[in-house]
Amino acid sequence: GDRGVYNFAAGPATLPESVLLKAQSELYNYRGSGMSIMEMSHRGKEFDFVIKKAESDLRRLLSISDDFYVLFLQGGATTQFAAVPLNLCKIDEPADYIVTGSWSDKAFKESQKFCKPNVVWSGKSEKYTKIPSFDVIKQNPDAKYLHFCGNETIHGVEFKDYPVPKNKTSILVADMSSNFCSKPVDVSKFGLIYAGAQKNVGPSGVTIVIVRRDLVSDSQPITPVMLDYKIQADNASLYNTPPCYAIYICGLVFEDLLDQGGIKAVEERNAKKAGILYDAIDGSAGFYICPVEKSVRSHMNVPFTLARSELEKTFIEEAAKERMVQLKGHRSVGGVRASIYNAMPLAGVENLVAFMKDFQARHP
């Protein structure tokens, strides 16, 4: 990119150049108001325009119908681990969790405080390299919802299609933090989708919740006001002061994604980027290894190791010298992780692949 680095961070992550430049041009004096977005009332006309446009652009981008609320909340995706059971079930009611990595495991553990969750499938014994075929998931017919993580940011496993909750009243809930807006999703198949913004769509500080309207009226009495979807929806995400600047940036990203041809075009670019990176790993005669089963490899986070693990540190250091930064794997799993969200250009991935080939040639 023009800033001289390719940033492979997992989140907060690289944002589109055009968005940053637009934000820069509007930072000091937003559209002649004499104020920045950070300095103005969240109830004034400028911010009203910003949040409404962000919502309507997101609705266009993902074809979200009026049956759903779109909320801009705080507390990160981690707060949704609690908000989901607090809003969707009673404290003694069961809910099903598919555990495909660290994040869905965290969601399950947090939900234990607020409902009676069951792990209906876990990939832990296979080091979170797989996603089950949906017929082996032992769903509880009484579960209030079925929860999964659409893309495990640390382990690099991604759902390519979605399970159907078995119980008629049961609803599908997904944490899409790390693949939100990376490909089309049929929102109508879900009861609730949530996503921290700081991977694909903006800065940290805002979490997007898309929730079916008919599901939000019956939260548990202990639900903190900030976590109550009905209250947030009735107040158009302005019950209290929202993360105004973060919402503004998300709005610029949604606008940019629409300008780029919408979500289908985004998906095609992401598939191409992921394809050349996985091909480089698989074509390295075992020098680089991606442990994830091929059919469920993430198009967003590509974790890999070097067969000679003692070379990993040098690999990451040398890549950084060549201005490819933040390639270190998550501290819980080690290795290398290249996060290639929407805003990572194809040239960044091509650069990385060229470096990988060169590095291998220099370490025969």
User: What is the set of active-site residues?
Assistant: 103, 175, 199
Burial, 62: exposed, middle or buried (Cβ in 10 Å; 0-12, 13-18, 19+)? Answer: buried
- With CB atoms as reference, the residue minimizing the distance to ligand PMP is 76
Rounded Cα distance, 277 and 128, in Å: 20
Q: For the chain, how big is the Rg over CA atoms in Å?
A: 21
The interface region with ligand PMP, picked from 174-182, 258-266, 286-294, 306-314 by CB under 6 A, is 174-182
Kindly state the helix (H) or strand (E) to which residue 146 belongs, with its residue range. strand 145-149
Tell me the three state secondary structure of residue 282: helix
Query: Could you give the string, one character per residue 86-105, with x where binding to ligand PMP holds by CB under 6 A and - elsewhere?
Result: -----------------x--
Closest CA to 77 of 147, 176, 211, 219: 176
Q: Which of 178, 223, 232, 284: binder of ligand PMP (CB under 6 A)?
A: 178
CB of 76 to ligand PMP, least distance (A): 2
DSSP 51-89: HHHHHHHHHHHHT--TTEEEEEESSHHHHHHHHHHHHHS
By CB under 6 A, tell whether 14 contacts ligand PMP: no
12 or 345: whose CB is closer to ligand PMP? 12
In the region spanning residues 254 to 313, those forming contacts with ligand PMP, defined by CB under 6 A, are none
In the region spanning residues 144 to 163, those forming contacts with ligand PMP, defined by CB under 6 A, are 149, 153
CB of 185 to ligand PMP, least distance (A): 15
First to last CA, the chain: 31
76 or 262: whose CB is closer to ligand PMP? 76
CB of 163 to ligand PMP, least distance (A): 17
The interface region with ligand PMP, picked from 1-9, 121-129, 170-178, 313-321 by CB under 6 A, is 170-178
111 or 177: whose CB is closer to ligand PMP? 177
Kindly state the helix (H) or strand (E) to which residue 276 belongs, with its residue range. helix 263-282
Cβ(95)–Cβ(117) below 8 Å: yes
| CB neighbourhood size of 131 (10 A) | 23
Distances (CA, A) of 205 to 68, 202, 237: 22, 9, 14
Q: Which of 1, 76, 132, 184: binder of ligand PMP (CB under 6 A)?
A: 76
The interface region with ligand PMP, picked from 59-67, 135-143, 175-183, 215-223 by CB under 6 A, is 175-183
CB of 78 to ligand PMP, least distance (A): 3
Query: Could you give the string, one character per residue 180-199, with x where binding to ligand PMP holds by CB under 6 A and - elsewhere?
Result: ----------------x---
61 or 176: whose CB is closer to ligand PMP? 176
187 or 300: whose CB is closer to ligand PMP? 300
| CB neighbourhood size of 53 (10 A) | 15
By CB under 6 A, tell whether 175 contacts ligand PMP: yes
The interface region with ligand PMP, picked from 76-84, 108-116, 219-227, 317-325 by CB under 6 A, is 76-84
Kindly state the helix (H) or strand (E) to which residue 277 belongs, with its residue range. helix 263-282
Kindly state the helix (H) or strand (E) to which residue 341 belongs, with its residue range. none
Residues 6+ apart with CB under 8 A from 49: none
Rounded Cα distance, 102 and 117, in Å: 16
By CB under 6 A, tell whether 77 contacts ligand PMP: yes
CB of 46 to ligand PMP, least distance (A): 27
Contact residues for ligand PMP, defined by CB under 6 A: 11, 76-78, 103, 149, 153, 175, 177-178, 196
